[in-house]
């Protein structure tokens, strides 16, 4: 008996919808990263994109526990001297709510070309509506 490895293009891709309403940001992000990688499939291969498409709805309603909304900082650099910028989670959710979910999922994916390909299969929306009805997405219940 030999081990079966997935090859690029041989896997069947499905579309899943994750509802983040009232669920912790990290729990939704880990489940989305797991689906994007394909770890829920028996044919999972670490170096092959065997994952599915993931639609995260209600990203604006994801919650953080404790004092994290006031203390959690998102930092980036403009590239110029003294160009370090930062923003709290609370302010980020007020201005661009989907950015927090995208940032959390991207950090859980591989940091290479494979991770970039996986990240392109993530679709995040602030509210309950999404334009992917034609793909017939399935509702994914988180455990």
Percent of the chain at pLDDT above 70? 100
Q: Measured between alpha carbons, how far is 107 from 110 in angstroms, rounded to an integer?
A: 8
CA dist 1 → 4, 74 (Å): 9, 49
Average pLDDT, the chain: 95
CA dihedral 67, 21, 124, 12 (to 10 degrees): 120
pTM, 2 dp:
0.92
- 22/65 Cα distance (integer angstroms): 11
Give the architecture (CATH level 2) of 15-65+96-139.
Answer: Alpha-Beta Complex (3.90)
Model pLDDT, residue 4: 82
The structure tokens 């959690």 sit at: 72
In which band, very low, low, confident or very high, does the pLDDT at 10 lie, cut at 50, 70 and 90?
A: confident
- Domain ranges (residues) in the chain: 15-65+96-139
């Amino acid at each position: 008996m030999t081990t079966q490895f997935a090859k690029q293009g041989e896997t069947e891709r499905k579309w899943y919808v994750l509802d983040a309403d009232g669920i912790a940001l990290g729990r939704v992000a880990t489940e989305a990263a797991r689906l994007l990688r394909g770890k829920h499939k028996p044919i999972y291969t670490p170096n092959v994109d065997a994952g599915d498409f993931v639609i995260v709805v209600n990203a604006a309603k994801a919650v953080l526990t404790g004092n994290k909304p006031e203390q959690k900082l998102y930092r980036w650099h403009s590239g110029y001297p003294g160009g370090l910028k930062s923003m709290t989670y609370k302010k980020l959710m007020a201005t661009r709510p989907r950015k927090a979910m995208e940032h959390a999922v991207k950090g859980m994916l591989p940091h290479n070309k494979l991770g970039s390909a996986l990240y392109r299969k993530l679709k995040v929306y602030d509210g309950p509506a999404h334009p992917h009805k034609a793909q017939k997405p399935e509702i994914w219940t988180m455990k």
